[in-house]
Amino acid sequence: MTLEIDVLTLFPGMLAGPLDESIPGRAIARGLVTVRVRDLREWGIGRHRSVDDAPYGGGAGMVLRPEPVGDALDALRRPGSTAVLMDPAGEPLRQSIARELAGLEHLILLCPRYEGVDERVRSLVDRELSIGDYVLSGGELAALVVIDAVIRLVPGAIEEASTVEESFSQGLLEYPQYTRPAVYRGMGVPDVLTSGDHGAVARWRHAEALRRTLRRRPDLLEVRQLTPDERRVVDAERAAIDGERSGDHVGRSADEGAGRRSGVDPA
């Protein structure tokens, strides 16, 4: 069972490099995944293979016409295909969506260019995905993000344990990791990690993941049912955070200065 991905783009050259490298490159070389990049202009209209036009009602820029997209999807679709439009107005990509897509047989990723797509294109696809609240010049980089997130979940692409243990599988941010040297620029390594007590290491890592998630992404904890042990860790950390805010706190916690302070984007 191999996952097939067709990418529809006006800039096929943007996809090749990243897919040749690292985990995607190896998964493709092993035949676990097939990625075909197709030039949308193959389905362009007329002698000039036109794919875009000015917006009805006026305004700046050009809009992707529906016919090339419709014809391309007609050519590539089969029973069991899922067509995805990359779009900042789409559903935000999450690990659970990547998991869903990794279980499909055939994925078609449509990469828009220009100021957007004719609204009727939306009726031609199965879902619309965003990779974040910013505008890209086109959908290619967004499609690469989807492909990367999906490929590493295909069985055999990476060591199974790494995707199971992974933070987002558990709905938490990652715990801190350390490697050699034991002291770097005066900064040591937590003693528990060199204690040889595997149970203590596992408990510490889980507590650190909870603390970090509370400080940096409290929204992730709101949608998570905590065990009594987890509750205790989170309550203690919340008390520590309150202490830091009330002013008597001196020094920096490990997570200070690295993440969001208010949750409001000042831009």
Task: Restricting to residues 135-164, name those near ligand JCQ by CB under 6 A.
Answer: 135-136, 138-139, 142
Specify the stretch interacting with ligand JCQ by CB under 6 A; choose among 34-42, 82-90, 189-197, 231-239. Answer: 82-90
- Strand-pair partners of 128: 85
**Which residues between 164 and 203 bind ligand JCQ (CB under 6 A)?**
none
Q: Is 52 helix (H, G, I), strand (E, B) or coil?
A: strand
What is the token pair recorded at 35? 């990625």
Residue 161 identity: A
d(CA 176, CA 249): 23
Q: In angstroms, what is the minimal distance from the CB of 146 to ligand JCQ?
A: 9
Q: Which residue's CB atom is positioned nearest to ligand JCQ?
A: 136
Question: CB under 6 A: which stretch of 33-41, 67-75, 84-92, 178-186 binds ligand JCQ?
Answer: 84-92
With binding defined as CB under 6 A, does residue 24 bind ligand JCQ? Answer: no
Helix, strand, coil percent values for the chain (each to nearest 5): 40, 15, 40
Amino acid occupying residue 121: V
Nearer to ligand JCQ, 135 or 250 (CB): 135
Site size for ligand JCQ (CB under 6 A): 15
Q: Which of 192, 228, 191, 237 is nearest to 210 (CA)?
A: 237
Closest approach of ligand JCQ to the CB of residue 121, in Å: 8
- Who contacts 3 (Cβ-Cβ below 8 Å, separation ≥6)? 32, 33, 34, 102, 104, 105, 106, 107, 150, 151, 154
Interface stretch with ligand JCQ, choices 75-83, 127-135, 196-204, 212-220 (CB under 6 A): 127-135
Nearer to ligand JCQ, 13 or 156 (CB): 13
Q: Does the CA dihedral 70-76-79-83 come out positive or negative?
A: negative
Write out the binding residues for ligand JCQ, residues 205-244 only, by CB under 6 A: none
Q: Shortest gap between Cβ of 94 and ligand JCQ (angstroms)?
A: 13
The C-alpha torsion from 120 through 54 and 112 to 140, rounded to 10°, is 180
Please tell me whether residue 61 binds ligand JCQ under the rule CB under 6 A. Answer: no
Choose the stretch contacting ligand JCQ; rule: CB under 6 A; options: 12-20, 131-139, 229-237, 240-248: 131-139
CB of 9 to ligand JCQ, least distance (A): 11
- Whichever of 91 and 165 has its CB closer to ligand JCQ, that residue is 91
- In whole angstroms, how close is the CB of 88 to ligand JCQ at the nearest point? 4
Is residue 207 within 8 Å of 254, Cβ to Cβ?
no
Quote the CA–CA distance of 90 and 130 in Å, as a whole number: 5
Residue type, 235: D
- The tokens for 265 are 């984007």
Q: What is the nearest approach in angstroms of ligand JCQ to the Cβ of residue 37?
A: 16
Nearest to 157 by CA among 27, 21, 15, 7: 27
Q: Under the rule (CB under 6 A), what is the footprint of ligand JCQ?
A: 86-88, 112, 116-117, 130-132, 134-136, 138-139, 142
